[in-house]
Amino acid sequence: MSQDKQSDQTGNLILNSVIGFLSVLLIILLFALGSRLLYPRIASERAVEDPTLISTVIQMEVLNGVGISGLANQFTGTLRQFGFDVVETGNYDHFDVPNTLIISRSGQIENARRVARAIGVEDQYILREEAPEFYLDVTLVIGSDYEQLNL
């Protein structure tokens, strides 16, 4: 009988230890979530206070507008070598884009111009379409003219 009692106490101790550990983990996660909601660390929000912060690093996405498999990923490596921060790649909503487009998302058109100059896109293909919910500076949509670009 004493062995059953000791086994129950050991089981209770393990159970209480697991509950205590999970409680501490829950408190840490709730604290992290609360601090993230109160103090978001997003560069484009800080750029409103100091526009020079965003001008040093241009965060961009690269979208494939021609449908050639892996094209956006190929561009990503070269753009990163140029010093751009490519944070996302993917496909554009259609694959019949004739000319490569650069879309300014942050309202800082100079960032889009810097990307255009680096890869050889004419100013007429720079568009302004501010979308603060993207948290990006520039969207690059690769068009059918991709072979003429400086990449």
The yes-or-no verdict on residue 38 having pLDDT over 70 is yes
3-state secondary structure the chain: CHHHHHHHHHHHHHHHHHHHHHHHHHHHHHHHHHHHHHCCCCHHHHHHHCCHHHHHCCEEEEEECCCCCCHHHHHHHHHHHCCCEEEEEEECCCCCCCCCEEEECCCCHHHHHHHHHHHCCCHHHEEECCCHHHCCCEEEEECCCHHHCCC
- pLDDT greater than 80 at residue 44: no
Per residue in 103-148, pLDDT tens? 998 888 999 999 999 999 999 999 998 876 778 899 999 999 999 9
Give 58-109 pLDDT, tens digit per residue.
999 999 999 999 999 988 988 998 889 999 999 999 999 999 999 998 888 9
Q: How many whole angstroms separate alpha carbon 143 and alpha carbon 44?
A: 27
Q: How far apart are CA 82 and CA 118, in angstroms?
A: 8
- The predicted pLDDT at position 22 comes to 95
